[in-house]
Structure 1
Amino acid sequence: MAIFTVFGNPVAHSLSPQIHQAFAQQIGVELNYTRSLTSASGFSRAVAKFFRSGGAGANVTVPFKQQAFELVTYVTTRAQLAGAVNTLVPLGYGQLLGDNTDGIGLVRDLQKNLQQTLANRDVVVLGAGGAARGVIAPLIEHGVASLTIANRSRERAANLVEQMADLKLRAFTFKQLTIPSGAIVINATSASLTGHEIPIENNELANAGCVYDMVYGAQPTAFMQQAQQAGVATVYDGLGMLVEQAGAAFQMWHEGAKLDTQKVIQKLRETISG
């Protein structure tokens, strides 16, 4: 039986085992998907031990995605652009391919599950950290009209824009931000994990046509509530992105697998809502 795992800290509440077991059932294969708690100092040793013992593939979650990028032998183009890896594929002889499926997971959720058009659409990404880096290139590849990065520190947002080197990208602080009418606004900050609001005025946030928070939970996140209070009618959390990025990883390990991700999203929604 093929063995897979997710490396993280914390990792006890990761939904990855449930998601990948559901995918395996859909295509009629057996696998064992575990959780691997590790530390920054022990991460590389844990990865090496897992693959030496016959591991067939692994996911990487916070806070090890940048470490994984430095660890692998080869990276995909999207992982190179993100500077982070969330999926490990063994190539044999101790070599690993690193991919980043976060961005394609977001794009698939927006377009396929939520029926949001990206082509010729203005998009605003809040935050300039690893979560933002992972989704910018896939959004641009799908033909957005403009992509604005907003962050507490304009310098950090500007550095990210400079690194991505795309004319569609612009950088602002939260207070400077002007949201184009009908734009998709994506929260890639950790604010919802701590329950903090993002310092954007309600009358500015009200311009959004759609608000999307990468965080998910049983209840609307802090940012989702902030958007609802501002009068945004179309507000989503990131559960679909979680499932879709897992689906993209699963398909790297099981070439040609056809997955019903919407069925898995629905089941997980029922589970986390109690």
Structure 2
Amino acid sequence: MKKPDRYAVLGNPIAHSLSPEIHRSFARSLGESIVYEKLEVPIGGFSDFVDSLIEQGYKGCNITLPFKMEAYKYAERLTVRARGCGAVNTLIFGSRVTGDNTDGAGFVADVTGRFGFPIEGSSILVLGAGGGVRGLLPSLLELNPKWIAVANRTMERAEALASSFGIDAIAYEETAAEHFDLIINATSTSLSNLAPPVPKAAFAEASLAYDLVYAARPTPFMELALKSGARKAVDGLGMLIEQAAESYADWRGVRPDTGSTYGEIRSLLENRAASAAAARP
């Protein structure tokens, strides 16, 4: 009997990852059998670790922080979208190792599909200038938005990123005077239970505020957005699931339907939060 194909998500830390549950849900929905694990990679040991997975017969892996740039360098060939953003979150093992980046496609699928937001002709503000933003920008630019501006605590980083992608850099305090249809929080502030220092006025005309961080409860960014006039504020669970579906398609040639998986993982997230709260003294 043929053993199930093996996959994994690699990161450090990695214990929090929901990727195994997501990919197992995809496999069940398609009637397929796979093994999917979460593996912590030693800092400084990425290449050797991936080499060992290939030797063990793994078929591919997802890459999360802090290894997306190392995966980009490790890949022997790159997809167009990986090359466009300069980072890799999916490795496909074969005669050569292929690197892809599914983050942008996952974000677009969630925003346009689940929430019905039209990116074409819209004005977009991105908060943060880290590696996660690079994964989004090529996919956003393909859909012809009216304007994309990036704001960051360090203006130099915002300007460097903006120059790379032909968009604008803007200071946080200047965002209050502009009109934005979509505001994306790509900072790590929500992980520290904080909101980014964006003025309330920046949200006044926003149709959608999107936090790339996912959580069982509204994040501080989401709360700020709704209090400040944004019509809708959502977290990044949908993007996580949609980018995972793109990775699954990379490996297995079929893109799973994400609707049932979204409901399943949302319930799992909420149940875990409730259990953790109940366990506190």
Fold match (TM-score > 0.5): yes
1:232 maps to 230
Aligned twin of 2:186:
188
Identify if the C-alpha distance between structure 1 residues 179 and 25 changes in structure 2 by more than 3 Å, giving closer, same or farther. farther
Distance 1:58 1:89, change over 3 A: same
Picking from 9, 13, 25, the partner of 2:12 is 9
CA distance in structure 2 between the aligned counterparts of 1:107 and 1:213, rounded to whole angstroms: 13
Aligned to 2:84: 81
SS in 2 for 1:69: helix
Whether the aligned pair in 2 keeps the contact of 1:8 and 1:36 (CA below 8 Å) is yes
2: distance between equivalents of 1:83 and 1:258? Answer: 24
Provide the residue aligned with 2:121 in structure 1: 120
The alignment yields a C-alpha RMSD, in angstroms, of: 1.3
Q: Do structure 1's residue 206 and structure 2's residue 204 form an aligned pair?
A: yes
Q: Which whole-Å deviations, capped at 9, do the CAs of 1:119-171 have from their partners, x for residues lacking one? A: 1111111111101111001001012111111111221111111112x3xx111
Identity of aligned residues (%): 37
CA distance in 1, matches of 2:220, 2:236: 13
**Equivalence for 1:65:** 68
CA distance in 2, matches of 1:58, 1:264: 20
The separation in 2 between residues aligned to 1:99 and 1:59, in whole angstroms, is 10
- The verdict on how the C-alpha distance between 1:85 and 1:179 changes in structure 2, with shifts beyond 3 A counting, is farther
Distance in 1 between the 2:29 and 2:203 partners? 40
**Superposition deviation, residue 185 in structure 1:** 0.4
Q: Which has the higher helix share?
A: 2
Structure 2 residue runs of 5 or longer lacking an equivalent are 272-281
Shift of 1:271: 1.1
What is the match of residue 158 of structure 2? 157
| 1:1-274 matched pairs, under 5 angstroms | 1-92=4-95, 95-164=96-165, 166=166, 169-178=167-176, 180-181=178-179, 183-255=181-253, 257-274=254-271
Deviations 1:82-118 (A, max 9, x none): 21110000122xx311111001000000011111111
Runs (4+) of structure 1 exceeding 4 A deviation are none
| TM-score, normalization by structure 1 | 0.94
How high is the TM-score relative to the length of structure 2? Answer: 0.92
Q: Do the aligned partners of 1:202 and 1:227 also contact (CA within 8 Å) in 2?
A: yes
- What is the CA distance between 1:178 and its match in structure 2? 4.3
Query: Which ranges in structure 1 are unaligned for 5 or more consecutive residues?
Result: none
Aligned-partner Cα distance in 1 for 2:265–2:113: 18
